[in-house]
Structure 1
Amino acid sequence: MKAYGYFTSKKYFKRVLFSIMLTMALILTGLSAANTYLLERSVKHVQEDANLKVLTQTQYNLSYMNEIIVHLSTFAFRDNALIPLMFSNNLPKMDYIRGYQQMYNMLESSSFLHSMAVYNASTRELYGSSSDFLVDGGTTKSSILDWLLHSSDGSLPASRLIPFSFQHSNQIDAFAFIVTDAYGPFTPSQSAIILFIKPDWVFDSLSKLNGLSSGSSGEILIRTSGGQLFDSGHSGQTLPLDQASIGKLIQAPNEGTGASNDSGFVIGNSGGQKVMVTYLHGIGDWTILYIQPYKEIMKAVSDMRTRNFALTGAFILLSIGISVWLSYKLYGPIEAMLKRILPHMRNAAPDSGKRNELDAMGDLYEQLSGQLQEISSEQIVRKYYIRKFLTDNRSLSELDMRQLIRKHELQLAPSGPYMVCTLRFDRYDEYDRRTSSGMKKLHSFAVMNIAKEVLSRAFRCEMVDMQEDHFTILLSGKEELLDPAAVKPAIFDVQQILERYYNLSLTCGIGETVTQLTQLSASYYQSYQLSQYSILMGYKAIIETQDIRTNLENKQKSLPGDVEKKLSEAIKKGKLTEAGSELERAFALLAALQLEDMRRAIADMAWIIKNAAAEITSNRITQLSVDIERIPLLPQDYYTLDELHLAFLSLCTAICEEAKPSSMERNEMIIETVKELIWQKYSDYNLSQQSIASTVKLSSAYVGKLFKDSCGMTITEYLNDVRLRRAQELLLKEDGTITEIMEKVGYGNQSYFFRLFKSKFGTTPKEFRIKKSIS
Structure 2
Amino acid sequence: MKVVFGFYKSKKYLQRVMLSIVTTMVLVLVVSSITNTYMLERTVKRIQEDSNLKVLSQIRYNLAYMNDMISRLSNFVYRDNFLIPLMFSTELPKMDLIRGHRQMANIMESTSFLDSMVIYNKSQSELYGTSVNFMLDGGITKERIRKALINDRPHPTNRLIPISLNGSVNRIDTFAFIVTDSLKSFSETQSAIILFIKSDWVFDSLKKMNVTSGRDLGEVYIQTEDGSLLTSDAGASYTGAENQSRLTQLVHADKVAQGGTTSGFVIGEVADRKSVVTYMDDSLGAWTILYIQDYKQLMAEVTKSRNGSLAISGIFLLFAIAVSIGLSYKLYNPIENMLKQIRPYLAATDRKNEPAAGDELGLMSENVKQLSDQLKEISSGQIVSKYYVRRFLTDSLLFSHADMQHLIEKHNLNIKAMDGLLVCVLKFDHFAAYDGKVSNSSKLLYNFAIVNIAAEIMGKSYPCEAAEMRGDHFVLILSKVRQEDAAAIEGVKGMLREVQDTIDRYYGLSLTCGISDPISQFPSLSSAYAQALRLCQYKLVKGHKSIISSEDVRGNLAGKQSDLPDGVTRKLTEALKKGHLTNAGGELEKAFTLIAGYNYDDMIRAVSNLAFQLKNVAGEINDNRIVAFTIDMENLHQLLQEKETLTEMYLSLLSVCSQICEGQRPANMERNEMMLETVKELIEQRFTDINLSQQSIASTVKLSSAYIGKLFKESYNMSITEYMNEVRLNHAQKLLEGDSYTISEIMDKCGYANQSYFFRLFKGKVGTTPKEYRMKKSLT
What is the TM-score normalised by the length of structure 2? 0.41
Larger Rg computed on CA atoms: 1
What is the TM-score normalised by the length of structure 1? 0.42
